[in-house]
């Protein structure tokens, strides 16, 4: 989880929401990610999505069934769906997300028995550290010192 927190700090340094994700197989990080939504102007560029893509590339396959995904903030529905589709074995996350959490807070996509894959779930690991990063970032945003301005098309 400390490596995921490092990714979150990288995101914050870029003016992105401080969420970090790493994917581990056999005690080795095979995928890393932090949000690049503002940088790429891509609504799908969440930490988990980028880490899953990197891990699949490293593994040479899309199935990540022997991997653990560590993320500082509870995955949203999009990311939870990608986690299920990638067959990730286990998710460990820090802070709950009361606005978009899809791993137990609002929904529990990763453990829904109607889907063809279920994920082992561990909640609350270094939750306070993760939440503190988010609170500090949004405090800076409100003070006008955070997040890059959005590019708007005419």
Nearest 10 degrees: CA dihedral of 76, 104, 7, 14?
Answer: 40
Query: In which residue are the tokens 């940088």 written?
Result: 39
Angle (nearest 5°) at CA 21 between 9 and 55: 135
∠61-54-30 over CA atoms, to 5°?
85
Closest CA to 81 of 49, 105, 104: 49
Catalytically active residues, by annotation = 48
């Amino acid at each position: 989880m400390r490596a995921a927190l490092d990714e979150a700090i990288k995101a914050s340094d870029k003016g992105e929401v401080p969420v970090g994700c790493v994917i581990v197989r056999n005690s080795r990080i095979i995928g890393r990610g932090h949000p690049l939504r503002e940088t790429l102007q891509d609504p799908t560029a969440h930490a988990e999505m980028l880490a899953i893509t990197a891990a699949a590339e490293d593994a040479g396959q899309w199935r990540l069934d022997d991997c653990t995904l560590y993320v500082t903030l509870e995955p949203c529905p999009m990311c939870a769906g990608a986690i299920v589709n990638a067959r990730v074995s286990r998710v460990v996350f820090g802070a709950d997300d009361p606005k978009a959490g899809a791993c137990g807070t609002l929904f529990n996509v990763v453990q829904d028995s109607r889907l063809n894959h279920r994920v082992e779930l561990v909640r609350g690991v270094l939750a306070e550290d993760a939440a503190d990063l988010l609170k500090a970032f949004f405090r800076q945003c409100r003070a006008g010192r955070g997040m890059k301005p959005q590019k708007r098309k005419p």
